[in-house]
Structure 1
Amino acid sequence: MHDDRSLVEARLTRVLDERIRPAVYPERLPLDVTVWHAPGEPVPVAEGLAAGTGPIGVGDRWGAPWGTSWFKVTGAVPQAWAGRIVEALLDLGFDEYMPGFQCEGLVYLPDGAPVKGLSPRNQWVRIGAPVTGGEQVVLHIEAASNPVVFGPRPFVPTLLGDRGTAGSEPQYRLGRMDLAVFDLMVWELVHDLEVLGELMRELPVDSARRWDILRAVERALDAVDLQDVNSTAIAAREQLIEVLASPAHPAAHHISAVGHAHIDSAWLWPLRETVRKVARTASNMTALLEDEPDFVFTMSQAQQLAWIKEHRPEVYARVKKAVSEGRFVPTGGMWVESDTNMPGSEAMARQFVHGKRFFIEEFGIDNEEVWLPDTFGFAAGLPQIIRAAGAKWLLTQKMSWSRTNTFPHHTFLWEGIDGSRVFTHFPPVDTYNCSMHGREIAHAAANFKEKGAARRSLAPTGWGDGGGGTTREMVAKAARLRSLEGSATVRWEAPTEFFAKAEAEYPNPPVWVGELYLELHRATLTSQAQTKQGNRRSEHLLREAELWAATAAVRAGFPYPHQQLDRVWKTVLLHQFHDILPGSSIAWVHREARQTYAAVAAELGGIIEAAQNALAGDGGTVLVFNAAPHTRHGVAAGGAAPAAAAGRKPVMAPRTSGGYVLDNGLLRVEIDGRGLVVSAYDIQARREALPPGAAAGLLQLHQDLPNMWDAWDVDSFYRNTGSDLTTSDRITASEGGTYVSVRVVRTFGDSTATQVFTLAAGAKRLDIDTEVDWHETEKFLKMAFPLDIHAERYASETQFGHFFRPTHTNTSWEAAKFEACNHRFVHLEEPGWGVAVVNDSTYGHDVTRTVRAEDKGTTTTVRVSLLRAPRFPDPETDQGVHRFRHALLPGATIGDAVREGYAVNLPERRVPGGAAVAPLVTVDDDAVVLSALKLADDGSGDVVVRLYESRGGRARALLTPGFDYEDAYATDLLERPLDTPVAVTAEGIQLSLRPFELVTLRLKRA
């Protein structure tokens, strides 16, 4: 029996490959092809269609990197083919094993109407079904010669990632350009045999069902005349009817297939190419929907649909029609499939605001599901944001990529920092590019961890990454798997249908509390530092622009820039896509990102300046504007006033052993002759922050060559080697009226680091400004803060609160978190005394603990990640000058960490003017943080206030509006009223908040 099985399987493989598949197109003839190579960036469709073309032949090279070529394909259908199905087979030079990562095309008719996209697994265009004979064929192909940046491992540095360095060498050879007869019966036979053969291989060797299939396949192959497949295909299919008709077991696992084309909004191609990728894929999918009545396709990322609307309105019209029919399903409700670790509180909220609003306004769809199949882990603050946006379900596949621990569930409730829960599903098929292969279907069923309690999972089906989507072959396979004995059942369903059914069948799923940490791609918290800095700076500038523009609109009649802010927000949200903000895209993407962030900063700076000038009025008094949520230096949060005295003037004295002592009455800091901080003494608490013999602000350099994904990964073994940068070139000190500082310059390798340690009057924090002129390769730069503190956990800021991680490595789960994400602060605490490290632009960090042999004390070390130097996909990653700001806060409470984290990111602004500016709203409890203050998006003039409890405790606070208002009510993130009652009193609005609770209030102005 074993020999029979092996022989039949081998026979099936060869006959399919060498006889049956080639017979799908039994007759062919070549088409005539000419070409025009666009000289620069892509041109409008009309220009491409009208361009004069020159000769090109099959086998000729074409396509400089990132170029566009317009092929014109012509021919005539032979009269002898009348009554048959005819297709054009158009091969631009594809490698079928790399869908999504190479050249692509969009086919147009002469009138500019799009037909469908061309990609490695989708090379056909239907001419007629049937044809009458004599039809003239004229097709135009807009072909993108995107170079293959992503090749077989190991990944090697390449200059192809930017047009300026990619050169002009043609990338492809033109393949077949044929007109061909399509034999539908043979095509159906191919899929009968593929589905049965794949199922047979997945069934147990001793399974009776396996042997039933094997014998049926054997009979079918016997029925095929290998010299005349086309005339014997019907007879072969008849031998398979019985085994294909045998239904699935009633308890079989059920797979909800949804057509999908995961398209990275930028990655190994620039943003402008994604604009074309989504048009090609949408053209393909709308065409497939017309041909396949059971098929359902879903597309996330409102930005991508907005691109189609703007750049390809004729494609968008087809999309809207398919959406209205319920076949093309916008999903996810976010502007892009963003990273969720690094975006700040408001940015994460606005991903849903702008995404959901687009889907509502364009399609009348209010998404309840969040669709993030490829995001690199999920922050603990996300469930509350999802709920506040009016959604309740989450899908991701990426957690299956974890390398150390296997996540214990596929369907579960995910609980965030405030207690909000989201019904979450991880597709057990373990891919967002399912192709309906029998191996994938069997894996989904066997892998599903909820067996016995639930039996439903989802399979995103279609080629992705670079797009392409579902193919007719996948649809054909799914039809045969609808109910097939030995297999899971498969039906096309929209995500909402899947989630509703999955939730109903599994009313009490297990609960996972806290972050969903991906045990992979940890270096994305550090790579491309300037992209991350641009994001952080943009987020805080947007906060300021909204705050001051709203205040000026209410106080001074300033025209609130609704459309301008809307556009800038969408730009910032786009760049939070999970391969842009994480730093894992080609050089072109990050070069453009730096330019974009500079333009955003200039534009928002203009809004802020105009609004503040409108508020300040005329006068000679210097007003200090404070956009941070807490009162500082006598300046009310959200208001402006003349600067107050800063506190006792700090002093500086030389140390007897070299270096300096800085003292402002609150902190005494010692910097030794190496330029390292060796003491940070909390004068009031009489407590030293640093362990004996340790140094803070210490730069440490590690070798950094991960096993696989250069820009994405840092592997734990990087810690095995490293060096402390303790040698200084020069140390200088300076004093100002309100500060003292020490400047230290160090050179190492081909790089230079300059650190300035500053102690300001009235500030219980040591500021550390670091400038690095970075020219290392495959290195990792960290800055260490060893602390004399015994803590089993530490707080790391996330969206709308903070999250605790252990400092120990008791289990593999803790050990795997050797690099993690924070926003503005990390905080460690013993009862009654703590320390915080705050930053203005870094995210990656690690925390470790040791016990000192000398005094048995515990040293807990916080290290912030500054720079990396991977060579793929951008060989020049992070080369150049970078500036960072950090601060060490001895004696800090969690409230201090929150306050100073905001302060370091929102510096005060000084504007000449007249009278002080009162805040638009005030809150009488510092635990309650104002996250956003703005005018309502609908242009009504209502004031919207978003706030949250920031310390992880209960809070009762009074919010007092500084303007006349008629009413106040709670809303969701989209500023839609909720049923939640709001306690409005004569004094203001009484708030009672749970730990980390997020509240949005809308105040109707009188």
Structure 2
Amino acid sequence: MKTIHLIFNAHLDPIWLWGWQEGLDEALCTCRTVCDLLEANPDLIFTRGEAWVYQQIERIDPQLFARIRMLIHAKRWEPVGGWYIQPDCNLPTWRGLERQIAIGKSYFEERLGGFPEIAYNVDSFGHMATLPTLMHNAGQRFYIMMRPQENEMTLPARLFRWKSVADAKEVVAFRIADCYCTPEGITRRFVEKSLTELPEGIDHTMCFIGLGDHGGGPSQTMIDWCRQNQDFAPGVRLEFSSPSRFFQAVAGQLDLLPEVTGELQYHSVGCYSVMQDLKLAQKRTERRLEQAEACPKLLPKDQKAISEAWEWACFHQFHDTLGGTSLLTAYHHVFNEIGAAEAVAERAMAYALRRKVVQLPPDRLQRLVCFNPASETWNGWVETEPWLEWTEWGDDWRLLDENDEEVPFQEIEAEAMHHRQTRMLFHLNIPAGGTRIIRIEREGRKVKPEVSPEPAAVLQWEAGQLPELRSAKGAVRLNLVLREDKSDTWSHNVDRYDGEILSQVEWTGPVSLESGPLRWAWTQEGTLGERSTIHAEWRLYAGSSEAELILRIHWHELHRIAKLELRGPGTFEETHAGVPGGGLRRASTGREFPLSDWLIAEKNNQPLWGVACPEVFAADVTSERIAVTLLRSAIMAHHDPNPGISPRREYSDQGRHIFRFYFDLSVNPSPSSLQDCARRMMQAPLIANTTAGMPRRYLRGEVGP
């Protein structure tokens, strides 16, 4: 006898083709209706995830929340998932996903009596290769998902043991057949699909029943249909059930399940790149919150504010939000809340730094207190503009550290176009949670010029092109191309972007901006397509094998995708690419994949060169080239088969964008060094000025009265 466990559920998108306020309304309406249905149907069991839904009901309708808790206690209402919402499972940072689970776990344990062992992301657009580690570490043993579906990825069975590439930790995963909802009603064919692809010897499966993305849950008509078809077919019965009952039914047969290691992909590859500005804002916020929560000397009120800001950030990890498929009008609130979360982190760290500064003993020199609040050492280049009260930097001034050792520096162009602004560049190593102090000595001591080592990286230009990057293993050539992309917002039925190349950038010759002793910089200008302009700035550093590229793009394309292509030396057999919490080797198939922070070009498992690129989120690789995706100009909230021809349509990502790349051209670039570089790019140290202990006034290098 085969048993189909009927899982009555209500999938709720808090933001999608509506704003969060309407998602809130639907959560209240759905849960109220489900309570009525459960009370009218004593044999019915309902399944519901996401801490956010319960939290909102408790805040707005305590009586409804009390009804739900009673039903949970009676085992009529089963909480699953346990996370704050159902996030995108490719794009958030590792720490962001840890907080996603931790926030939900804390709420479930405190308010609902326990944390579910069953994780639940039935609509997320793919699942990263390290996700089992996160679930296992949180105490979850089971996982329910649906995408990628059968036509998008072949799995050995519907029920399988899923192992992480990071550490081989595993969960038992179940892939839903066909759909997690039945908005058009139930059919026999729909129910039959749940019986397909079961492992040999497994006689239980799950079929999900409910109205769909806007909530609603099961209807009485659906419930009645299931009762009437309880004896579904010879040897097959339907049972009102829950995910925990299903997993209990197969608990003694887990050794029969096949194993799957690695990511579960691909679905909606356009969601890796559309709304790049949102993805970058979210990542920057998560990195800043990660930095802030490790910060010493936080006050309790700051710690509380950071916890609340993490809730805002985790809410906007929701797969339709972060995936870029929601309404333009809904994103107004999203950007506001993500920005507010980042501001909370920056404010808390700024106050913590200044509480340190006021405890410093007086000093006769002006000081720049450089603070690394993060939990890892910060080792990199610092740029800052000390306030000198309109005094121009003197030729004989110098920088000293806390031990009176001279600090090599370089004057560079200030941000403001003002003749008395001074910007400084110097290198620092700052311990985790610690500070370094840079002191400005301006009392007329002649500085002996110090010879800096030449850059280990080399740029070689050809007319009209970006430069070649000369590495120890050959040259890396770059080209920025514009391709046609007529797919909808999600890029449904697309797994790569191989449309016609519409244009390539014709670059001006390089113009020198800086010429040492610590940094050399050049700029180039170009036009992409008919309406977009690009500014490229290249930087090399003394004694370093890194080459930095900053692209400033004013993007005004429609139905286009821009990619930065990287070629040579030789062919790419595979690429080692970052995923949250680790790395994954990918074959050179040309298929679009999600990218997190870095990638390394490899041949025979040997690295050729690497690049840290935390501001891009997708790439594809063929044997001839690696192409990182910069921007897509899809129509917003456009879902095939709608033709998307409304005169009111809006296109994503129009306007100004900045991308930074650090190319590691050393003999042996490593994932750890590139990951650390990507982290540094988003977790710069904080700097405070102090004049405590200085003579009352400095003027042009002389002590005033």
Pairwise CA distance, 1:788:
1.0
Q: Does residue 545 of the first structure (1) align with residue 292 of the second (2)?
A: yes
Structure-1 separation of matches of 2:206 and 2:451: 63
Structure-2 separation of matches of 1:361 and 1:628: 29
Match of 2:367 in 1: 621
Pairwise CA distance, 1:464:
1.2
Match of 1:561 in 2: 302
Q: Deviations over 1:245-274 (max 9, x none)?
A: xxxxxx2x2111121111112111111110
Quick one: which of 832, 840, 847 aligns to 2:621?
Answer: 847
Match of 2:81 in 1: 332
**Equivalent pair of 1:397/1:432 in contact (CA under 8 Å):** no
Structure-1 separation of matches of 2:102 and 2:9: 23
Gap change, CA 1:649 and 1:374, over 3 Å in 2: farther
Q: Which of these two proteins has the greater Rg computed from alpha carbons?
A: 1
Quick one: which of 474, 483, 496 aligns to 1:688?
Answer: 474
Q: Does residue 512 of the first structure (1) align with residue 292 of the second (2)?
A: no
Matched residue SS, 1:515: coil
Match of 2:611 in 1: 837
Pairwise CA distance, 1:789:
5.0
**Equivalent pair of 2:161/2:171 in contact (CA under 8 Å):** yes
**Equivalent pair of 1:382/1:416 in contact (CA under 8 Å):** yes
TM-score using structure 1 length: 0.58
Match of 1:285 in 2: 34
Q: Does residue 674 of the first structure (1) align with residue 464 of the second (2)?
A: yes
Gap change, CA 1:740 and 1:526, over 3 Å in 2: same
Match of 1:876 in 2: 651
**Equivalent pair of 2:600/2:607 in contact (CA under 8 Å):** no
Q: Deviations over 1:286-338 (max 9, x none)?
A: 00000001111111111122122223333323222222222122210110100
Q: Does residue 793 of the first structure (1) align with residue 574 of the second (2)?
A: yes
Structure-1 separation of matches of 2:509 and 2:601: 33
**Equivalent pair of 2:273/2:617 in contact (CA under 8 Å):** yes
Number of paired residues? 612
Gap change, CA 1:835 and 1:913, over 3 Å in 2: farther
Structure-2 separation of matches of 1:515 and 1:649: 51
* Correspondence list, 1:369-768, <5 A: 369-400=118-149, 402-403=151-152, 405-417=153-165, 418-433=167-182, 435-445=185-195, 447-450=196-199, 452-486=200-234, 488-518=236-266, 520-548=267-295, 551-553=296-298, 558-559=299-300, 561-617=302-358, 618=360, 620-626=366-372, 627=374, 629-632=376-379, 633-642=428-437, 664-678=454-468, 680-682=469-471, 686-690=472-476, 695-696=477-478, 698-706=479-487, 709-713=488-492, 715-716=494-495, 718-728=497-507, 731-735=510-514, 738-748=518-528, 749-768=530-549
Q: Does residue 352 of the first structure (1) align with residue 101 of the second (2)?
A: yes
Match of 1:58 in 2: none
Give the percent of matched residue pairs that are identical in Structure 1 and Structure 2: 21
Q: Deviations over 1:812-859 (max 9, x none)?
A: xxx6xx111121111123566531111132111111113xxxxxxxxx
**Equivalent pair of 1:676/1:726 in contact (CA under 8 Å):** no
Gap change, CA 1:501 and 1:644, over 3 Å in 2: farther
Pairwise CA distance, 1:760:
2.6
Q: Deviations over 1:553-605 (max 9, x none)?
A: 5xxxx446232111110100010000011111111122322222222222221
Matched residue SS, 1:827: strand
Matched residue SS, 1:896: helix
Q: Does residue 902 of the first structure (1) align with residue 682 of the second (2)?
A: no
Quick one: which of 349, 361, 375 aligns to 2:110?
Answer: 361
Supply the AA of the counterpart residue of 1:780. I
Q: Deviations over 1:598-650 (max 9, x none)?
A: 222222211110112223334543232233734513322442213699xx999
Structure-1 separation of matches of 2:496 and 2:522: 34
Matched residue SS, 2:139: coil
Structure-1 separation of matches of 2:170 and 2:115: 19
**Equivalent pair of 1:789/1:828 in contact (CA under 8 Å):** no
Pairwise CA distance, 1:758:
1.5
Match of 1:297 in 2: 46
**Equivalent pair of 1:675/1:744 in contact (CA under 8 Å):** no
Gap change, CA 1:914 and 1:560, over 3 Å in 2: farther
Structure-2 separation of matches of 1:283 and 1:835: 57
Matched residue SS, 1:286: helix
**Equivalent pair of 1:423/1:503 in contact (CA under 8 Å):** no
Gap change, CA 1:623 and 1:501, over 3 Å in 2: same
TM-score using structure 2 length: 0.82
Supply the AA of the counterpart residue of 2:674. A
**Equivalent pair of 1:700/1:784 in contact (CA under 8 Å):** yes
Matched residue SS, 2:7: strand
Gap change, CA 1:531 and 1:793, over 3 Å in 2: same
Structure-2 separation of matches of 1:628 and 1:743: 35
Between 1 and 2, higher relative CO (CA 8 Å, sep ≥ 6) is seen in 2
**Equivalent pair of 1:378/1:517 in contact (CA under 8 Å):** yes
**Equivalent pair of 1:823/1:843 in contact (CA under 8 Å):** yes
**Equivalent pair of 1:635/1:643 in contact (CA under 8 Å):** no
Structure-2 separation of matches of 1:745 and 1:760: 22
Supply the AA of the counterpart residue of 1:911. A
Structure-2 separation of matches of 1:320 and 1:765: 57
Matched residue SS, 2:322: coil
Structure-1 separation of matches of 2:4 and 2:491: 31
**Equivalent pair of 1:412/1:512 in contact (CA under 8 Å):** yes
Matched residue SS, 2:320: coil
Matched residue SS, 1:841: coil
Q: Does residue 260 of the first structure (1) align with residue 35 of the second (2)?
A: no
Pairwise CA distance, 1:487:
6.8
Structure-1 separation of matches of 2:566 and 2:439: 32
Superposition RMSD on alpha carbons, in Å?
2.5
Matched residue SS, 1:507: helix
Gaps of 5+ in 2: 380-427, 441-448, 638-648, 693-705
Structure-1 separation of matches of 2:439 and 2:355: 22
**Equivalent pair of 1:427/1:459 in contact (CA under 8 Å):** yes
Gap change, CA 1:401 and 1:752, over 3 Å in 2: farther
Structure-1 separation of matches of 2:612 and 2:115: 38
Structure-1 separation of matches of 2:333 and 2:491: 20
Supply the AA of the counterpart residue of 1:603. V
Gap change, CA 1:650 and 1:461, over 3 Å in 2: farther
Supply the AA of the counterpart residue of 1:669. L
Structure-1 separation of matches of 2:245 and 2:520: 63
Supply the AA of the counterpart residue of 2:25. R
Structure-2 separation of matches of 1:413 and 1:649: 60
**Equivalent pair of 2:328/2:636 in contact (CA under 8 Å):** no
Gap change, CA 1:562 and 1:821, over 3 Å in 2: same
Match of 2:701 in 1: none
**Equivalent pair of 1:527/1:712 in contact (CA under 8 Å):** no
Structure-1 separation of matches of 2:46 and 2:312: 27
Gap change, CA 1:270 and 1:318, over 3 Å in 2: same
Matched residue SS, 2:285: helix
Structure-2 separation of matches of 1:644 and 1:480: 82
* Correspondence list, 1:313-332, <5 A: 313-332=62-81
Structure-2 separation of matches of 1:882 and 1:429: 39
**Equivalent pair of 2:146/2:176 in contact (CA under 8 Å):** yes
